[in-house]
Structure formats: structure tokens, C-alpha cells
Amino acid sequence: MSVVEAEALFDTGNRHDERGAFDAAVAAFDACAALVPDNTAVLVNLANTLVKAERFGEAAAAYRRYLALVPGDVDRWFALGNALRQAGSLIEAVGAYVQCLRLAPSFGPCHVNLAGSLRALGVLDQAQIMAEAAVELMPRDVDALACLAGLLYDQGAFAAAVEWYGQALAVAPGHAGVLSSLANALQGAGRLDAALVVHERAYATAPDQADYRYNRALSLLAAGDYERGWAEHEWRLRRTRMMNAAIDRGEAWDGGSLAGRTILLHAEQGFGDTIQFVRYAPMVARLGARVVLEVPAPLVRLMGSVAGVAQVVPRGEAAPAYDTHCALMSLPWRFGTVMATIPAAIPYLAADNRAVADAVIGPLAGRPGDRRPLVGLVWAGGTHLDDMDSHLIDRRRSIPAAALAPLGAVDRVRFVSLQKPAAMMPGFDMIDPMPWVEDFADTAAVIAQLDLVVAVDTAVAHLAGAMGKPVWLLSRYDGCWRWGDRQSDTPWYPQMRIFRQAAPLDWDGVIGAVVTALSGWAVSGGSGG
């Protein structure tokens, strides 16, 4: 009887699967597997249907049950790796792919997916080896070619990435994803005009793809085309990663009257983005709105200094009642900002008196007779292991501590670490108040005591700029859109000077230029930036 019942459940599962009723199919296959637990056809169908239902963890368990019975099935090891990767179990996925390749060393698609998993774990050298093997096995496979190109891009080899994306396009000329990635690589290689042309091709091919539209927006903004760039930038809100993190906040501000209304302005990306765009809050208040600002907790106390903000609430806590809302990074679009109209009422952030008094900066005060200018220094960004794209950007924007050594020869200044979280310290004398700094208000209190801030592209650079402090930005070759293309200044922070890499990953040239400029600045008395 159980065999007949199992056959009926198997047929039922297949019918549900064919109709796209995947959860019902899973239920039938699961019941069938309970009756015939060693039936490999049932286990395979159960696992495959769980994948279709996007129940990847359960799918992996089903594939494992099958592989315990048929350990030599190459395709199922590959499928197990894919399910684990989708479930976010990357280390286990790598193990499954490795077993697949032990059984079938020439299985090209497995090399590609193993490379992708290693990349997601930040193991770029091994990922590149796998991608190169995939290209050798499948020289005309667009996924293999694009995978290798992407890994080269991640490591700052932008010209090589352009070449490999070009080969991928030769195989698939209308591939919108490759077009968009090629445009990014061209911009990274310093070929912004060419990047914009390729973005137009991606747009023409896939006009409703949010990721590609967002990439196009960043290039338009880098080129200074704010009129088109801000409108295009709104596509970021339709990206899967943004939609997954989005909170239903009700009706978004449509640009209409705010008189007598309460508006919630909310941060959406990094600390630096919040600091840069909170300059719009006073403009919103001048429209007659009561402004409530929602920001990450480390920014709450600092944001109390923003004019026109009635209340600041930490992200994750209940906000007071409001009538409408707007993401901070949508405000430039709403206000029609172009290069000539960037709000630059600097300073718009300040260290409050209590923070200045409470900040633990004893080493700064305890320097009787030493009148050398104080120079704040930030050489590394924060880690973002939960967001590998951001983590890889951080690798490119951060400077190895050893590369800072020439700064130690500038003896006419005293360096003050503004580095948080902690990083390896450079090998020269430096005051370090940061172990006692708890939030950005404390950081602002330290910056208020300084004469100059020298920083890689981090929130501290934005904070110094927003406080009106002279700041020298050390920018990676593929610099952020907000710093333009190749300029040495920016209207966002009039007192900022930008030192750019002359070639990808070349921090020695940047540090050499800073040493020369800093020596001259110190000789002149450390005034201005």
C-alpha cells in the first residue's frame, strides 16, 4: 500500500511542480520521501522544487540526503553548491563546489560559481585562479569572461577588466549586465566619457533594470550632469538590495507644500552620505515643515547641531508621527540641485560645548610650549563584511599603515589619529584620543581642536568639511562620484583639497604629494588648507 501511495504522491508532486505550485509540490514530495526515504528520484525532485520555491536551505538538506546515496553525482554536488550559495552558506558552498571539481575537474560552470563564492568571501586571489580556469575551459562563455573581468575590477586592475568585459561583449553584444559592468570599468580606468556612452547602450537594452540605471546615475553625477544624474539616482530605491531593506514609511514627499506638516528625513546609506546630505534639512525647514531626522545611533548627538531640525531619532526606534517622508539622498533631486546651486553654507555641523568639554583629548591640551599645528589623520575605512561590494571598495580606499611612513618626516606638525575603528598604526609618533571617542559628536570635538584633517574617503572627511575645517582628501583612483572626475577641489566642501592617485593602487605618489604640501603648509604657519 505504501508503494502505491508513494507513487500517487510522486505524481501529485510532479503535477503541482508543472503548474508552478511549488509549495504544494514540496509537500507531496516530502510526504513521498517519508514513505520511500531512499528513493533518489523523489529526493532529487524534492530538492529541485525547493530551489524553485526559493527555500534554499531546505533544498540543500534534500540534496545532501540524495548525495549520501549517490556520492558520485557531479550535477547534484553542483546543485548543492548553488543552493548553499543562495542560502548564504558560502563556506559550505565552496566545499560542495570543491567536491564537484574533484569529481569533474573540467566542469567550467562550477569554476565560475566557485569563483563567485570565493569573491563573496573576500578571497580574491583564489577566486581569480578559479575564474581564469573557467575562461581556459570555456573561452567563449560570457559568464566566465565577466566573472574574471569583475574580479580584476575588484582588485583595481581596471584596464584589464575593460579588456575582458570587451571579450564578453564580443560573445554577447547585447548583454545589458556586461555593458553596465564595462561602463563601470571604463569609469574606474579614468575613461568617464567612454563609460557614459556604454551606459547609454545598457540603458537602451534594459531600460527598467534598476542596478544598471543606478550605475548610470553615478557616472552622470561624476561628470557633473546633476540635472539628469539626480533623477536617475532615484532608481537606487528600486534596487533589490534597497527594497529588501526598505521600511514601509507611508507616503513619500512628492515635492508639494510642506507648510504646517511634519516630514521625516531618513538616512539610507553610510555615515558620510548622511553627513553630506543633511545640509538640506534647513532648506526643508524653510519650506514650513517640522523636520524630524532619523539617523544611525552614532550620529544622533552630532545631528542635534543642524539648524531647522526639530527632533533627531535613532534608526530602529519608533519615530514620532509624521505626515510624509523623504530619503536624505533624494533631497538634491527634489531641490533641483545643479553644480552651481550646491548648498554650501559651511559650517552646518558643530561640536557642542559639552562635547568639547567632555571629549577625552587630554594629550592635545597637554603640550606646553609645543605650538606645532595639529593634523588629524585617517588612513583606513571601516570594514563591511556583510556587504562585499562595499568591503572591496574599502580595500581600495584604505592606505596600508606602512605606506604612511614618509609622513613621519614632517616634523613641523603633530599628528592626531582620527582612525576608528582601530587599524594598524603607522610607525611614527601620533596622539591617539580615539579609544575614548564613542560617537561622531566626540569625533567632532576632537576635530574642533585641530588645524587640518588629512583623510581617505570616509565619514571623517565629510565631518571635517561640514564643520568648516580645512581637509585634504586622499582619493583612490576610481574615486567616488561626489568628488567629480579629476578635479582637486569640490563645491560640496569649499575648504577641501583632493589628492588623487595617479594610477590604481598607487598610494606612494599620493603620500609623496601630501608630504610636500604638508611641509609647505607647516612652514607657512599652518593656516588655511
For 288-309, the three-class secondary structure string (H helix, E strand, C coil) is CCEEEEEECHHHHHHHCCCCCE
Length of the chain: 529
CA–CA separation, 178 and 190 (whole Å): 18
Looking at residue 67, its pLDDT comes to 98
The domains spanning 2-204 and 353-523 adopt the same CATH topology:
no
- The stretches of 323-451 forming alpha helices (DSSP H) are 331-334, 353-358, 362-365, 388-397, 440-447
Query: CA 183, CA 244: separation in Å to the nearest integer?
Result: 26
Distance (Å, whole) CA 233 – CA 251: 19
Quote the pLDDT of residue 392.
86
Residues 131/151, Cβ–Cβ less than 8 Å: yes
Q: For residues 82 and 56, what is the distance between their CA atoms, to the nearest angstrom?
A: 9
In one-letter notation, the amino acid at residue 94 is V
Distance CA(311)–CA(300), nearest Å, equals 10
Neighbour count for residue 271 (Cβ, 10 Å): 20
Cell numbers that stand for 27 in this block: 509537500
Q: With a cut of 50, which residues of the chain have pLDDT below it?
A: 1
pLDDT attached to residue 206:
97
- One-letter amino acid identity for 482? R
Residue range 346-364, pLDDT digits in tens = 999 999 766 665 555 555 6
313-326 pLDDT, tens digit per residue, is 999 899 999 999 99
What pLDDT score does 436 carry?
A: 85
pLDDT at 3: 83
Contacts of 74 (CB under 8 A, 6+ apart): 100, 103, 104, 107
State residue 159's pLDDT score. Answer: 98
> How far apart, in whole angstroms, are the C-alpha atoms of residue 233 and residue 247?
19
The span from the CA of 261 to the CA of 264, in Å, is 10
CATH pick for 2-204 out of 1.25.40.10, 1.10.220.110, 3.40.50.1950, 3.30.360.10:
1.25.40.10
pLDDT for residue 424: 72
What is the model's pLDDT at position 427?
Answer: 80
The domain limits of the chain are 2-204, 247-341, 353-523
Rounded distance between C-alpha atoms, residue 167 and residue 131, angstroms: 14
**Strands ordered across the beta sheet of 414-417:** 414-417, 374-378, 452-456, 471-475, 496-500
Nearest to 216 by CA among 251, 187, 257, 253: 187
| pLDDT of amino acid 508 | 97
- CA–CA gap between residue 169 and residue 306 (Å, rounded): 49
Task: Report how far residue 34's alpha carbon sits from residue 30's, in angstroms, rounded to the nearest whole number.
Answer: 6
Q: Is 206 helix (H, G, I), strand (E, B) or coil?
A: coil
What's the Cα-to-Cα distance from 275 to each of 81, 137, 249, rounded to whole Å? Answer: 41, 48, 22
Taking alpha carbons only, the member of 501, 461, 297 closest to residue 381 is: 461
Q: Tell me the CA distances in angstroms from 102 to 63, 106, 109, one per residue in order.
A: 18, 9, 14
In DSSP terms, which residues pair with 414 in a beta bridge? 374
Which CATH fold topology does 247-341 show?
A: Rossmann fold (3.40.50)
Query: Any residues with CB less than 8 A from the CB of 513 and at least 6 apart, and which?
Result: 499
Taking a C-beta distance cutoff of 8 angstroms, is the pair 234, 252 a contact?
A: no
Sequence-ordered strand ranges (E) for 296-429 = 309-314, 324-327, 374-378, 414-417
Q: What is the sign, positive or negative, of the torsion defined by CA atoms of 108, 111, 117, 122?
A: negative
Q: Burial code of 498-516, b = ≥16 C-beta within 10 A, e = fewer?
A: bbbbeebebbeebbeebbe
CATH code for 353-523?
Answer: 3.40.50.2000
Half-sphere exposure of 153 (CA within 13 A, CB side): 25
pLDDT of residue 365: 56
